[in-house]
Amino acid sequence: MRYLEITIPEGRRRAVLDVLDDAGVDYVMSDETSGERYSDVVRFPLPNRAVEPVLDDLAAADIQDARVVVVTAETVISEEFDAVRDQYSGGGAKGQRTSRQVLRTKADEFTPAFSTYLVMLLISAVVATAGLLGDSPAVVVGSMVIAPLLGPALAASIGIVTGDDDLRREGFVYQFVGVAVVIAASVGLGLIARLAGFEPGGVDIVVVAELEERVSPNLLSILVALGAGIAGILSLTRGFSEAIVGVMIAAALIPPSAAVGITAAWGMDGATLGAFTLVVVNLLSINAAALVTLWVAGYRPQGLFEVSPTRRSTLTYATIFGVGLLVLAAPLASVTLLEFRTTEMEASAEQAVAAVLEDPQYDGYEADEIAVVLDDDYPVRSVDRIVVTVSSQQSSPNSALTDDIYTALTDRIGEPLRVEVEYTVSEERGRQSDEQGIIDTAPEP
136-192: pLDDT as tens digits: 888 988 888 888 888 888 888 888 887 788 888 999 999 999 999 999 999 999 899
Closest CA to 377 of 321, 414, 341, 331: 331
Asked if 211 contacts 262 with a C-beta cutoff of 8 angstroms, the reply is yes
Q: Using alpha carbons, list the distances in angstroms from residue 401 to 349, 356, 388, 411.
A: 15, 8, 11, 15
Q: Is the pLDDT of residue 261 over 80?
A: yes
Furthest-apart CA pair in the chain: how many Å? 105
Q: Which of 204, 107, 218, 115 lies closest to 161 in space, CA to CA?
A: 107
Where b means 16+ CB within 10 Å and e means fewer, 321-333 reads beebbeebeebbe
More reliable by pLDDT, 428 or 356: 356
Average pLDDT over residues 189-210: 68
* 73-77, 236-240, 287-291: range with lowest mean pLDDT: 236-240
Strand partners, 45: 3
* Of 276, 290, 299, residue with least CA distance to 321: 290
Distance CA 398, CA 406 (A): 12
- Residues found in the chain: 445
Q: Count the alpha carbons within 13 Å of 242 in the hemisphere toward its beta carbon.
A: 18
**Beta-strand runs (E) in 1-138:** 2-9, 28-31, 38-46, 67-72
Strands 432-441 and 67-72: unpaired
pLDDT at position 376: 75
- Looking at residue 124, its pLDDT comes to 93
Task: Give the whole-angstrom CA distance, residue 266 versus residue 285.
Answer: 28
